[in-house]
Structure 1
Amino acid sequence: MGTIQMVDLKRQYQSIQTEIDAAIKEVIDSTAFINGPAVKNFAANLGAYTKAKHVIPCGNGTDALQIALMALDLKPGDEVITPSFTFIATVEVVALLGLTPVFVDVDPDTFTINMESLTQAITAKTKVIIPVHLYGQCSNMQPIMDLANAHGIAVIEDNAQSIGGNYITDDGIRKTGTIGTISCVSFFPSKNLGAYGDGGVIMTNSDELAARMTKICNHGSERRYYHEIIGVNSRLDSIQAAILNVKLKYLDQYCDKRRAVAAFYNRVFANNKHIKTPFEPAYSHHVYHQYTLILEGVDRDAVHQAMAERGIPTMIYYPVPCHQQEMFTALQDREYELAHTEYLVSRVLSLPIHTELTEEELVFISTQLIEAIEEVKEKQVSTAE
């Protein structure tokens, strides 16, 4: 057994190497490196997969969020509601555009936006809600959309971590990222659908917003050297699009493998009083971008260190919530009490999960975690004595 990786991109590449190499060579041979056929093909194929009407490629997931907000023609001081328990990109683009971030709590089981906290946060200044499909878990979109529509608020799905996931209702199944006003996707290499560099897309079913976001991605221009609106330079390059086109064919397979890994972990940890395994509500087809546990009654940071000493990587996503980040504390004019968020950030721990994990590796990881927890507990008891 080799070195355990949080995400093993090398083994995944080796399994599709012939296809990937051929796709890259085709772009190089064509020299169509910017907005070439590979980009257009990938956008069309992703649209067919998700059933989103418009797919606009861009440079990365953070750009996608910024461009989505720019397209809504917001004014300085307009409020944008986001969960605080998320990667900083969700929120930094809000402040970057002179908008006001308003942080809300998450559900303690799903880690996604809490409806009670969201409802209480809405004011006359609220213009956008950004639910985050965290770790591969879909937010409960129907009540979010009902609330947003009742108040005339736009919804931007932060779908950076959940491409390939489903939202399940009595009326049918929809892909994550196709429910809100706009959605944003990241193709960071570790994602379920990952490029070999940065990349992203924005999706919408609105013709008007699609046209506007396409312009914004291209310096605010539809016709070369004529710039109608303020824009940015944000493009998915052709080599990355070619890679993603190959990997898109395997996305469902990749998600199924991650779900199988999660199911293995769930079985092993089911009766451990210190481990709370991920919760899957009926409405969400979890695609496990991360497999994230809640550790109870044991020092999470000590367990994280003990696993590292055993040669097993684990990650803490995210140790400091956004509302407590230094970059935002100076901007805030309100106090936040986000009990679930503040509870979770001291207890969550993510285990290795990827498409190439073997049963031998899974047994080793899970056994070592159980032993690490017992080791930490014993040290806690001896210190107390």
Structure 2
Amino acid sequence: MLLYLRGTVEAVARLWPPLLAAAVVAAAAAAPDPLAARANGSNNTSGCYTRLFAFGDSLTDTGNFISYAAAPGPVARLPYGETFFHRPTGRWSDGRLIVDFIVERLGTPYWPPYLAGKTAEDFRYGANFAVGSATALSQDFFKKRHLNVDQITPYSLAVQIGWFQKLLAVLASTDNAEREEIMATSLFLVGEIGANDYIHPIFQNKTLGWIKPVVPLVVASIVSSLAALIQLGARTLYVPGVFPLGCTPRVLFLFRGSAPGDYDPATGCLRWLDDLVVLHNALLKVKLAELRRAHPGVSVTYVDYSGEVLGVVTSPRRHGFDERTVLDACCGGGGPHNANFTVHCTEPGAVQCADPARYVSWDGLHMTEAVYRIMARGILDGPFAAPPIMCGCKKTASL
């Protein structure tokens, strides 16, 4: 804990004025224990969740992007999906995502993505509203700040929350008691979201000075969406932080040739960008603590995706990965980190590894199924696990 807080203080202090940085870190350190919050929180008396509702971006999207995009690109072709589904499904990985492992633990079928559903029966076990390239802030926000939004989906987090409201009206149109039951016995995974709010500007050569003021706005958008779900009756919410963007091969390729001091000697990742992630996650934890205090009957659990990924990057062998390629893409355009922008995975000339299970990154921006499995363990069996998931209706074998 002391090591984590020292790292947080150093990272936040590099980006915010000292007094404000200290206030953020102190508030994060004083945040109540999520386990204690859960003890007072869930109204789920059955001890079993019957539905999962997920929101976010390409780390969670199981097919919404390819359902609406006129030209979905690489994700619609093999080798995406090769490891588990043996075909492309719209998942930005070689196999399953974190949300898939949660669905398996709950014992429900892999439900269709929201935009592919046609009837209420399609959403009997929940729905996935996440969309690849989605941001926490609206597309208009970035457009007004003169960012090219061609690669930013209009389906931001607020839009996804709107989709959920429409679906809830379908599942329980007139029966308030039924609606309350649905909300109380459903698990809500809100995120990961926010990474694209920083990645899109970075890929358009925006400076840290441009991006840093966006962080509080991104966190406020996430918290506003959480509050909307709680107002609707949500009782158990998981909120992942942003993963370490400075370790992604695409970003490392973009900033190749940076000064040695720009890299963290412990990870090889870009220090300034991971500091931004630390800032986002620290502020998010502060706001989640405030949300818990305002809603003592609700379980709001922060999930440390960044810590999970950094644990793999710093100790790859212990987790079964190849330390020589821990910062390389399994499937990419060649060049440094196998992450050349001119060629994407699935395109002619792309370089693909022999065994994705030995790699952390799948295509330079997204993780392999092997890493998503580890990240899912944190929710299902690890420090972020909620007892109702662990003793779910039809618990499958441990991951």
TM range (shorter): 0.3 to 0.5
| Larger Rg computed on CA atoms | 1
TM (norm. structure 1) is 0.33
| Structure 1 or 2: more helix by fraction | 2
